[in-house]
Amino acid sequence: MTELLKGKPVADRITIEIAEKAENLKASGVVPTLAIVRLGKEPGDISYEKGAVKRAAEAGVEVKSLVFDRDMTQEDLIAEIEKLNEEDSVHGVLIFRPLPKHIDEKAVCEVLDPAKDIDGITSGSLAGIFMDSDVGFPPCTAAACIEMLDHYGYDLKGKKVTVMGRSLVIGKPVVMMAMRRNATVTICHSRTTAEDFAAAGSNADIVIAAVGKARMITEDMLGEGQVIIDVGINMDENGKLCGDVDFDRENPDEGIGAHAAAITPVPAGVGSVTTAVLMKHVINAAEKAADRV
């Protein structure tokens, strides 16, 4: 029977661990603080912010919300981020994206101090991942994939890992993180041939699916006894939330479920761990800042 790797136990464990660290920081006079920068009232942003604020309260992290109009100029937004860079009481900054089309998102992201980049959006953070250094932080969703595997006892050392997707948000960072754990990694993407895609998927011990297309990863692309981490959050043709993997939660022992050793469900899988990882990064940033004083 396929094991469902649910995110809640992982998120709860992380939260308990970092809440203790937050108390220790506060005892030394440091209050871990996250600044959230949001332009406008996009429903998805508001929903994520509510979840983040709730998780922050559980973890002992203070939240400073900065909400601006969608028509805010790029210059004004950059000025606000520069202020946060200089504000010693703020340890992490989360900028909701995508930004409005009149704003150069890359230019805005590059203004952020990598030391406060708790979601891996700056080139400094990405360089830290690829150079195996302590600069910045990896994107939270990529880090959540590794947290899931660690929590459920799946050691990456010597394992064959296939990553499906090559975005800077998940695919490329998680490749480097898996390699850091001494995995042998294959990466597939939109230009990989169907034959090679299926070969890479079926030969893996662990599959991390991050293609961003509903139910794209089908049974014929996978093998036996695999651990599958499904990062996708999509809506199918029936308006139902689903992942990138064609896994039927209602019939978990059929199709892909009949062959996989373990799989993350969608929803209630990786996505529920990301806000806990976000708070973990804020705590880590606060600890680093305290050490520099």
Do 60 and 155 lie in one domain? The reply is no
Do 153 and 98 lie in one domain? The reply is no
Full-model pTM: 0.95
- The CATH number of the domain holding residue 55 is 3.40.50.10860
The pLDDT tens digits of the residues spanning 199-222 come to 999 999 999 999 999 999 999 999
Do 104 and 220 lie in one domain? The reply is no
Do 70 and 186 lie in one domain? The reply is no
Note whether residue 12 is domain-resident.
Answer: no
The mean predicted confidence, pLDDT, of the chain is: 95
Q: Which pLDDT value is given to residue 265?
A: 95
Q: Which pLDDT value is given to residue 92?
A: 98
Q: How many residues does the chain have?
A: 293
Over residues 73-102, the mean pLDDT reads: 97
Lowest average pLDDT, out of 15-19, 140-144, 236-240, goes to 236-240
Do 47 and 161 lie in one domain? The reply is no
Note whether residue 278 is domain-resident.
Answer: no
Note whether residue 152 is domain-resident.
Answer: yes
Note whether residue 135 is domain-resident.
Answer: no
Please confirm whether the linkage preceding 267 is cis (ω < 30° from 0).
yes
Residues 252 and 26: beta-carbon distance below 8 Å:
no
Alpha helical stretches, state H, the chain: 7-27, 43-59, 74-86, 105-111, 123-130, 140-151, 171-180, 194-202, 271-292
Note whether residue 178 is domain-resident.
Answer: yes
Indicate whether 249 pLDDT > 90: no
Note whether residue 125 is domain-resident.
Answer: no
Task: Tally the domains of the chain.
Answer: 2
Q: At what angle do helices 171-180 and 140-151 cross, to 10 degrees?
A: 40
Q: What is the Rg, in whole angstroms, of the alpha carbon atoms belonging to the chain?
A: 19
Q: Are strands 241-242 and 234-235 parallel, antiparallel or unpaired?
A: antiparallel
Q: Which pLDDT value is given to residue 251?
A: 86
Residues 242 and 268: beta-carbon distance below 8 Å:
no
Beta-carbon count within 10 A of 254 CB: 12
Do 259 and 156 lie in one domain? The reply is yes
Do 168 and 237 lie in one domain? The reply is yes
Do 233 and 197 lie in one domain? The reply is yes
- Give which of 172, 160, 256 is closest to 203, Cα–Cα: 160
Indicate whether 293 pLDDT > 70: no
Helix (H) / strand (E) element for 235: namely strand 234-235
Note whether residue 119 is domain-resident.
Answer: no
Do 48 and 162 lie in one domain? The reply is no
Do 147 and 100 lie in one domain? The reply is no
Q: Which pLDDT value is given to residue 292?
A: 76
CA distance 284 to 116: 10
Indicate whether 10 pLDDT > 90: yes
CA distance 274 to 48: 10
Lowest average pLDDT, out of 26-35, 193-202, 230-239, goes to 230-239
Over residues 221-241, the mean pLDDT reads: 93
Note whether residue 162 is domain-resident.
Answer: yes
Give the residue numbers spanning the domain of 91. Answer: 28-113
- The CATH number of the domain holding residue 200 is 3.40.50.720
The pLDDT tens digits of the residues spanning 18-65 come to 999 999 999 999 999 999 999 999 998 999 999 999 999 999 999 999
Do 104 and 152 lie in one domain? The reply is no
